[in-house]
Amino acid sequence: MLKSEHNYEAAKDKDIEVCDYWEYLEEGKVANSIICESDFIKKPEILKIPSMPFAIRPVSTRPPVSDSAGTKLKGYGESLFAAGRGINSVRNRFVSIVANQANKLANQPLLNYRDAQGKSLGGEILAGGIVDLDRDHQRVEASPMNDIPQAVLGILDWLNGQLEQVMLPKIPIGSPAPSGTLYNLAQEAGNKIFNPQLRNKQSFYEDICRLIEEQIIAGGIKVKVQSVENKKYYETTYTPVDLKKPHIIEVKFTAATPWSQFDTAQVAQMLIGIGLPRLWVWENILKVQDPKLLQDLIALETYEQSPQGMMKRAVEVLKDLGYEFEANKLVEQMDMMEAQEAQMGVPAEGGVNAPGQ
C-alpha cells in the first residue's frame, strides 16, 4: 500500500511504524498527514470538515443521552470494564507464583544425609536430582518445601471473580448438569455485560453514519444509492440538501445469543397462545426484520401445499423437464376438477353457491 498509494519504498525485512496523523486546527478545519520512519510520505492536507473523522466512545452501563436532533451528548457514566482495570497484571503475577511453586514441588531434589561412611548418590544440585550432605551414616529424604499458601489461592479466586465482572460468566458443565435456574442467573449476569456492548456497537455505527453525513454535506457530494425494498429494485441520489432536512440517525442490531434463543421462542409461542397478534410477536419479541413479508411467505406456502397448488407446481416442473404432453393432461384434469366443483357448489365469500343460482 505504501508503494502503490504513496510511492514509498520501505526497508525490506524490517518492521516499520506508520502513523496516520490528524490535527485539529480550528473549527471546521483539520489536517491529515502520514508519517513513516520520521518521513512525511503524505504532506499535511487541510480538510474542511466539522469533526475529526474517528469516534472514541466508552462502553458504559448507561446509554448516552441524545438531543432532539439525535446528536449524542456527554454523560456516559463509568465504563463497565472499570472493575477489571489493572486486574490482569495482578492476576498474572499470582498465577506465575502458583505455577512456579507447583513446579518446584513436582521437581524438588532428594537430600542424601551421610557421614564419612556414607555413599555419594548424586552431587548435582538439580530439580529432581540428589544432593549429598554430611550427616549421620546415611539418610535420604525429600527436601523440605512449603505448600502453596491458601491465602494466595484465595486471592487468585478473587481476581478471577473480578475478571468475570467484565466478561460473560463461565458455567462449568458437570455431571449432573447445572439446573435451569443457574443458567437463568448466568444469563442475567451476562446480559449486564452483553447488552451495553451491543448498545455501544449501535452508537459506534451511528457515529460513523454521522461523520459520513458531515463529510458529504461539507464536500457537497452527491451519493448514488442502490437497494431493494419490497422485492423491488430502486436507485436514487442523495444530495447535501436532502441530508440537511430534519432527521435522526438510528442503527439497531438484533442479537440472538445461543443461551436466549430457546427462551425467546418459548415466550413468543406462549404469547401467541394467549391471543396476541402474530405480527406483533414476530416484530417485538422475535425481532423479525420484515413481519409482513414473513406473513406473505406463510400464505404462499399454505397455497403451495394445497392440492391445487401442488398440481400447479407439478405442471410447471413437467414443462421445465420437457414433458409437454403430461403437463397438458394434468391441466385438463385440473380444468375438469374446477368444472365439477362449479356444478356441485363451492364455498365463496358470503355463503355457498349452489347449482342454478
- pLDDT above 50: residue 290: yes
Q: Which residues of 182-221 are buried (b: 16+ CB within 10 A; e: fewer)?
A: eeeebbeebeebbebebbbeebebbbeebbebebbbeeee
- pLDDT above 80: residue 224: yes
- pLDDT above 80: residue 272: yes
User: Which of 191 and 300 is assigned the larger pLDDT?
Assistant: 300
- What does the pLDDT look like over 1-19, one tens digit per residue? 667 777 777 767 677 788 8
Among the listed residues 357, 67, 80, the one whose alpha carbon sits nearest the alpha carbon of residue 197 = 80
Between the CA atoms of 126, 128, 129 and 131, what dihedral angle is there, to the nearest 10 degrees?
A: 80
For 16-29, what is the mean pLDDT?
Answer: 85
User: Which of 247 and 169 is assigned the larger pLDDT?
Assistant: 247
Min mean pLDDT across 74-83, 141-150, 199-208, 291-300 is at 74-83
pLDDT of residue 309: 83
pLDDT of residue 350: 44
User: Which of 343 and 176 is assigned the larger pLDDT?
Assistant: 343
- What does the pLDDT look like over 30-64, one tens digit per residue? 888 888 877 788 888 888 888 888 887 776 656 56
Cell of 289: 426484520
- pLDDT above 60: residue 26: yes
Q: Do residues 128 and 107 lie in contact, with contact meaning Cβ atoms separated by under 8 Å?
A: yes
Provide the pLDDT confidence category of residue 357 given band limits of 50, 70 and 90. Answer: very low
pLDDT of residue 243: 86
- pLDDT above 80: residue 113: no
> How far is the C-alpha of 218 from the C-alpha of 51, rounded, in Å?
10
- pLDDT above 70: residue 127: no
Using DSSP, state whether 32 is helix, strand or coil.
strand
DSSP H or E run through 89: helix 87-106
Cβ neighbours of residue 308 closer than 8 Å, sequence gap 6 or more: 334
Q: Do residues 135 and 169 lie in contact, with contact meaning Cβ atoms separated by under 8 Å?
A: no
Residues β-bridged to residue 82 = none
For 16-28, what is the mean pLDDT?
Answer: 84
- What does the pLDDT look like over 58-99, one tens digit per residue? 766 565 666 666 555 555 556 656 666 677 778 788 888 888
- pLDDT above 60: residue 136: no
* Mean pLDDT score of the chain: 75
Among the listed residues 313, 315, 334, 337, the one whose alpha carbon sits nearest the alpha carbon of residue 325 = 315
pLDDT of residue 68: 65
For 300-312, what is the mean pLDDT?
Answer: 84
> How far is the C-alpha of 7 from the C-alpha of 1, rounded, in Å?
9
Phi then psi for 114, rounded to 5 degrees?
-150, 160
Read out DSSP for 309-354? HHHHHHHHHHHHTT-HHHHHHHHHHHHHHHHHHHHH--EETTEE--
pLDDT of residue 154: 79
**Which residue's entry shows cell 455431571?**
175
- pLDDT above 50: residue 104: yes
Cell of 94: 499470582
User: Which of 21 and 77 is assigned the larger pLDDT?
Assistant: 21
For 102-107, what is the mean pLDDT?
Answer: 76
Instruction: Please tell me the pTM assigned to this model.
Output: 0.46
pLDDT of residue 39: 78
